[in-house]
Structure 1
Amino acid sequence: MSARYDEIGVGYALGRRTDPRWLAAVLDALGDTASVLDVGSGTGSYEPPDRRVVAVEPSAEMIRQRAPGAAPVVRAVAEALPFAPSVFEAALAVLTVHHWGDWRRGLGELRRVSRRQVVLAYDTALHNDFWFVREYVPEVAELERSRPSAPEIAEFLGASAVHVLPVPWDFTDGVFPAYWRRPAAYLDPAVRRSCSALAQTPAAAVDRGIARLRADLESGRWHDEHAGLLELPEWDAGFRLIVANADC
């Protein structure tokens, strides 16, 4: 993961900005916990501002993009957290588990060092039903099928709650399906670079898909076939906020 994000993470903070609606959900899931370990923290987009936070991130490039005054960060991997058992009240992992080399071992480490685990993940089957994947870059589906899905993660953790996090049409965090109602955004290379699913898919496949999308936008075909989406304020792309407690 470190080497991967040292390469594809350049400029990540420009496209991946905190959305206050998701941050509110994360804060609610953390409850009244006072100490939080943010594992796979990246640039720290969803770190709670009102708690004692320690971040863990393996990529030097991602650490470099953390804002001044951000929580202290330890360069380490989820599968080998350098902390004593139960030293944190909560462990947070936001859109990172699918990048871990051994996700079960990493989640086991979260349980070891914290009494509550809050994990933001996604259902890979629903991600693969995204129109961009189905119609333009179906090669993304192969990558997604190799990743752990939110139901698997919830089962492994023995989740006490799983909350649906829909994606608002004006979402500010450039996750892969963020622009489900704003398709022209995918024509921007900077937008595509901030999506790991596209960054890790063969460039030729992405280029072919983008060419088809551009043509469908110019002809009006995309809008004709997806008119129903344009009336929706939000859409379920499969994102799930998973909460587990040590005493469950």
Structure 2
Amino acid sequence: MSPARYDAIGRGYSGTRREDPALRAQLHAALGDARTVVNVGAGAGAYEPRDRHVVAIEPSDVMAAQRPRELAPAIRATADALPLRDASVDAGLSVLSLHHWDAGQERGVHELRRVARGPVVLLTFDRDVSGAMWLVADYVPEIAALDRRIFPPMDVLARWLGGDVRVEVVPISRDTPDWTLGAFWAHPERVLDPVARANTSGFARMPTPIVERAVAALERDLADGTWDDRHGDLRELDEFDAGMRMLVAEPG
């Protein structure tokens, strides 16, 4: 996990990356009756349970500084070396963080399994599904190439987790307040918003010329109606599968 990366990406993160109530409920339900939870890559605290004891792990000072005052401070540590004893918490949680663990991904997943007595819940993206979304496929294929390197396939994650693993599709609501890159599916105008772009790791990790090219192309296609001719039916949907997946692993 790279604290320097999120020190850059995370400025103003909480402005456009707010909790989606439906997603929060789904994540908390997956934690079952766990009373103690380690949240790895805890960031600004989105989706962190307020009614359980949470050990927040976050290496970035910028992200941790955006945590609400009612949440416990985050411990500065990385996923691949959790400062916890074996089976010391009831459950493990990681929300859209694993793709930033770099070379520590497999070790980080094993660490979550090591410290959690019960379920480990991972929210991530299926890179094959997300790569087919219009934004990535038509305008920024470089993000798909990056995602193929940084998002482990579902079967690999299941193998790392071990035990009984289920994978749940998590459709993204049109009105979600959590503006992940996938949440742009029905809102192409958001791509033109530099703040919205900067708060997605996909755009934030792209070189400036690539971002400028994509923005210019989409701005043109919105102005002349090309985007709506190709994808306007998306504006009629309430939700869309942009590749978000929740893995829930019970110990074997």
Name the TM-score, length of structure 1 as normaliser.
0.97
- Residue from 115, 125, 133 that aligns with 1:113: 115
Deviation at 1:127? 1.2
Residue in 1 that maps onto 2:218: 213
Which consecutive unaligned segments of at least 5 residues does structure 1 have?
none
1:226 partner SS: helix
> Which residue does the alignment assign to 2:160?
156
Partner Cα distance (2:30, 2:167) in 1: 10
d(CA) in 1 for partners of 2:200, 2:186: 16
Q: Which amino acid aligns with 1:70?
A: L
Q: Unpaired runs of 5+ in structure 2? A: none
Percent identity between the two aligned chains: 44
Tell me the distance in 1 between the aligned counterparts of 2:91 and 2:40: 11
Aligned equivalent of 1:223: 228
Match of 1:192 among 190, 193, 197: 197
TM-aligned CA deviation for residue 69 of structure 1: 1.1
- Cα RMSD of the aligned pairs, angstroms, is 1.1
| Partner residue in 2 for 1:76 | 77
Q: Give distance in 2, aligned partners of 1:31 and 1:4.
A: 32
Paired residues for 1:15-164 under 5 Å? 15-101=16-102, 102-115=104-117, 116-151=119-154, 152-158=156-162, 159-164=164-169
What's the CA shift string for 1:140-160, capped at 9, x where partnerless?
122111113351212321343
CA contact (8 A) 2:40 2:79 kept: yes
Q: Please point out which of 179, 183, 195 is paired with 1:178.
A: 183
Query: What is the letter of the counterpart of residue 237 of structure 2?
Result: L
Following the alignment from structure 2 to structure 1, what is the Cα–Cα distance between the partners of residues 53 and 27?
Answer: 15
3-state SS of 1:31 partner: coil
| Runs of 4+ residues over 2 Å off in structure 1 | none
